[in-house]
Amino acid sequence: MITVEHLTKRYGPVAAVDDVSFTVEPGHVTGFLGPNGAGKSTTMRMICGLTPATSGSARVLGKPFTALSNPGRRVGVLLDAAAQHSGRTGREVLTLAAMMTGVDRARIDSTLDVVGLTQREAARRVGQYSLGMRQRLGLASALLGDPEVLILDEPANGLDPAGIRWMRDLLHDFAGRGGTVLLSSHLLREMEQVADRLVVIGRGRIVAQGTKEELLRQAGAFVRSTDDAALAEALRRADVGVEALTTGGLAVEAEPLDVGRAAAAAGVVLAELRAADSRGLEELFLELTADDARESATVHTRQEVPA
Amino acid sequence: MTATTPAAQAPTRSAARAGAEVRPLTFATLTLVEWRKQLDTRAGRWLLAVIALITAGVLAVMVAVNGGNHSFSAFLVATSTPMAMLLPIVGVLAATSEWSQRTALVTFTLEPRRTRVGIAKVVGAIGSGLALLVLAVGLAALAHLVVVSFRDADPAWDVTAQNVAYLAISVVLFMAQGVGFGLLLRSTPAAIVTLLLMPTLFGIVGGLVPGLADALPWIDLGTAGEPLLFGAALDAQGWAQLASASAIWVVAPLVGGLWRVARSEISSS
């Protein structure tokens, strides 16, 4: 369980994180989404007590992270897989973590197995590791203390497709046993598959949160008729947002029933009418964060999303 | 392969074991970890290997030249000098590597009480320093024994307990200073250059400004600490000067460094 309340971090006049509140429930994988620089990592560092918050609070398992005694046994944290001493071996990294958390060193071998690092790889220096191997080592480090909560920043970064799939299963499994998982990622396809709840952040503010189904369900309707132009005109007169799609048909910001009524009133013959498709996470992400994205000039914003 | 995770065998995770099984990290363990971190990296091992090599080289030369006729204390000076020069670097690295290698992120999530980590670093570094001092005394004694036995040198077991105690005090000061500068500056080159330049700079300034000569023992650790290296017993004023210079060059940077670590943001960049 992670509770974030009105968390704010200012660097001078810039609010990197601005009044962010959300909860991460046990038994679920909660995805933390946002463009680069949106404040994901800063928020996660504040949750872990590494970055002092300007205001607001974050609690993990009911306490501020820094008040947990032996936090490595309660919360597994991976904030930056590259942040390991390049001169240490993978095994030594885990040995130090085992000493600090007081877990039996026998767990090192079993945890290496879990993350798929061989004994030979563990004997090599971290400096020779690929990013994918560092991610596995970082995850091993997080899992070593048999925690109840996982906080992972971009853990899929650098993993190959098989590795990503493996991690997805691991996190599902962890959450399925009642664990709490908060992970950030910019790999939307992976996030769509692993997370069942989402928190979307843009320019330091939460722009959406909820279950994946809720967020991906799209309001509105798709309609095709014998005279799209006339129908569009009729809908616009009724103050309904309409967009003509290049592939034919109209995307309408209204329920199918209302579209049908408008069509009947205008005397337009309908060829197809249905609720809008559930959109992909990528589409949602781009819509929600369009204002903040560096590529905003090229992003086509179609509609405002109700908060 | 994920199903084999040992955590999987503990379905009732939180409630059952939260309080009972999780012991807090003791300071002794933390110190042991910090001490181990000084030795378990390539840089740390090289540093110790270099100290050992230089020491061995110096001893070999001393046994060879001048008929090997050197006293125990001369050998101890020879073994402890390279250590004294390089030891602060062990302390510096213990602190700066957390930032240069970005391990601070992991260290301070496993132990959020940062001041405790900093103090563990100091204690660990002092442990390394004192262990090396014991080694230096042992090697010097061995070398003297060798020249006495095989090269007919005059036996001169002239190292007193006070000499060793003073050396130990200087080791403690060096290590604490190294960690302090490391924590304060967070950059290995900056901390080492500052540590090495400082005494030289003070020597030059002291020589140029005649009025400063009287004040120098009070504010320069090099001058105040000179008696610790085979000098006469310190009198009350000597101790006061050592305390004053240590306050400026050891205590202040250490407190400043610990304060900075406790207050600042720990990030990976």
User: pLDDT band at residue A292, thresholds of 50, 70 and 90?
Assistant: low
* DSSP labels, B108-157: HHH---HHHHHHHHHHHHHHHHHHHHHHHHHHHHHHHHHHHHHS-PPP--
- Domains of chain A from N-terminus onward: 2-74+147-215 (3.40.50.300), 219-275 (3.30.70)
Residue A116 to residue B14, Cβ atoms within 8 A: no
Residue B101 to residue A85, Cβ atoms within 8 A: yes
Q: List the single residue in A79, A100, A114 with the smallest CB-CB distance to B33.
A: A100
User: pLDDT band at residue A63, thresholds of 50, 70 and 90?
Assistant: very high
Residue B267 to residue A51, Cβ atoms within 8 A: yes
**Cβ-Cβ contacts under 8 Å, A146 against chain B:** 6-7, 10, 13
Q: Is residue A43's pLDDT more than 90?
A: yes
Q: Which two tokens stand for residue B15?
A: 């409630």
Q: What is the pLDDT of residue B18?
A: 47
Q: Is residue B19 part of a domain?
A: no
* Strand A221-225, strand A270-275: pairing: antiparallel
Instruction: Give the A:B interface size as CB pairs under 8 Å.
Output: 144
Closest CA to A124 of A93, A97, A90: A90
Number of domains forming the structure of chain B:
1
Q: Is residue A76's pLDDT more than 70?
A: yes
Mutate to test the interface with A, among B12, B14, B27 (most CBs of A within 10 A): B14
**Cβ-Cβ contacts under 8 Å, B37 against chain A:** 96
**Cβ-Cβ contacts under 8 Å, A66 against chain B:** 112-113
Which whole number is the average pLDDT over A22-32? Answer: 95
Residue type, A248: G
Q: Is residue B15 part of a domain?
A: no
Residue A66 to residue B113, Cβ atoms within 8 A: yes
Q: Is residue B9's pLDDT more than 80?
A: no
Which whole number is the average pLDDT over B127-152? Answer: 90
Summary mean pLDDT of chain B: 85
Q: List the single residue in A87, A101, A107 with the smallest CB-CB distance to B42.
A: A87
Q: List the single residue in A52, A80, A99 with the smallest CB-CB distance to B105.
A: A80
Cα radius of gyration rounded to whole Å, chain B: 22
Q: Is residue A186's pLDDT more than 80?
A: no
Which whole number is the average pLDDT over B168-181? Answer: 93
CA distance A211 to B102: 35
Which whole number is the average pLDDT over B126-145? Answer: 91
**Cβ-Cβ contacts under 8 Å, B112 against chain A:** 49, 65-66, 68, 71
Q: Is residue A306's pLDDT more than 50?
A: no
Which whole number is the average pLDDT over A111-119? Answer: 94
Helix (H) or strand (E) holding B99: helix B72-100
CA distance B36 to B260: 24
Q: Is residue B3 part of a domain?
A: no
Tell me the pLDDT tens digit for each residue of B175-206: 999 999 999 999 999 999 998 888 788 778 87
Which whole number is the average pLDDT over A55-78? Answer: 95
Residue A143 to residue B266, Cβ atoms within 8 A: no
Q: Is residue B268 part of a domain?
A: no
Residue A68 to residue B109, Cβ atoms within 8 A: no
Q: Is residue B266 part of a domain?
A: no
Residue B7 to residue A101, Cβ atoms within 8 A: no
B231 CB-side CA count, 13 A = 17
Phi, psi (deg, nearest 5) at residue A24:
-115, 115
Beta bridge partners of A270: A225
Tell me the pLDDT tens digit for each residue of B89-133: 889 999 999 998 899 999 999 999 999 999 999 999 999 999 989
Which whole number is the average pLDDT over A65-77? Answer: 94
User: pLDDT band at residue B21, thresholds of 50, 70 and 90?
Assistant: low
Summary mean pLDDT of chain A: 88
B85 secondary structure, DSSP code: H
User: pLDDT band at residue A302, thresholds of 50, 70 and 90?
Assistant: very low
Report H helices in A55-160: 90-101, 106-115, 119-122, 131-143
Residue B30 to residue A100, Cβ atoms within 8 A: yes
Residue identified by tokens 């071998």 is: A109
**Cβ neighbourhood burial of A27 (10 Å; 0-12, 13-18, 19+):** middle
Å between B139 CA and nearest CA of chain A: 29
Q: Is residue B15's pLDDT more than 50?
A: no
CA distance B201 to A298: 59
Output the CA–CA distances (angstroms, integers) from residue B112 to A47, A210, B54, B106, in the order listed.
12, 31, 39, 10
Q: Is residue B212 part of a domain?
A: yes
Q: Is residue A278's pLDDT more than 50?
A: yes
Tell me the pLDDT tens digit for each residue of B49-58: 888 889 889 9
CA distance A95 to A122: 11
Residue A114 to residue B5, Cβ atoms within 8 A: yes
Q: Which two tokens stand for residue A175?
A: 């959450």
User: Chain B: residue nearest A82 by CA?
Assistant: B102
Which whole number is the average pLDDT over A88-96? Answer: 96
Residue identified by tokens 């999530």 is: B109
Instruction: Evaluate whether A53 touches A46 at the Cβ level (below 8 Å).
Output: yes
User: Chain B: residue nearest A54 by CA?
Assistant: B265
Residue type, A197: R
Report the predicted TM-score, pTM, of the whole model to 2 decimal places. 0.83
Residue A83 to residue B3, Cβ atoms within 8 A: no
Torsion angle of the four alpha carbons B103, B109, B111, B114, in this order, in degrees rounded to the nearest 10: 70
Percent of chain A whose predicted confidence (pLDDT) is above 90: 56
Percent of chain A whose predicted confidence (pLDDT) is above 70: 94
Q: Is residue B183 part of a domain?
A: yes
A265 CB-side CA count, 13 A = 13
Q: State the residue range of the domain holding B202.
A: 26-260
**Cβ-Cβ contacts under 8 Å, A169 against chain B:** 2
Output the CA–CA distances (angstroms, integers) from residue A282 to A34, A40, A215, A297, in the order listed.
11, 17, 12, 17
Least confidently predicted of A39-43, B146-150, B179-183:
B146-150
Q: Is residue B2 part of a domain?
A: no
Residue A71 to residue B109, Cβ atoms within 8 A: yes
Least confidently predicted of A168-177, B31-40, B44-53, B255-264:
B44-53
Residue type, B120: A
Helix (H) or strand (E) holding A282: helix A281-289
User: pLDDT band at residue A291, thresholds of 50, 70 and 90?
Assistant: low
For residue B238, the Cα-to-chain-centroid distance in whole angstroms is 23
Å between A148 CA and nearest CA of chain B: 6
Q: What is the pLDDT of residue B14?
A: 45
Q: Is residue B12's pLDDT more than 70?
A: no
What interhelical angle do B72-100 and B114-150 show, nearest 10?
150
Residue identified by tokens 């000067």 is: B241
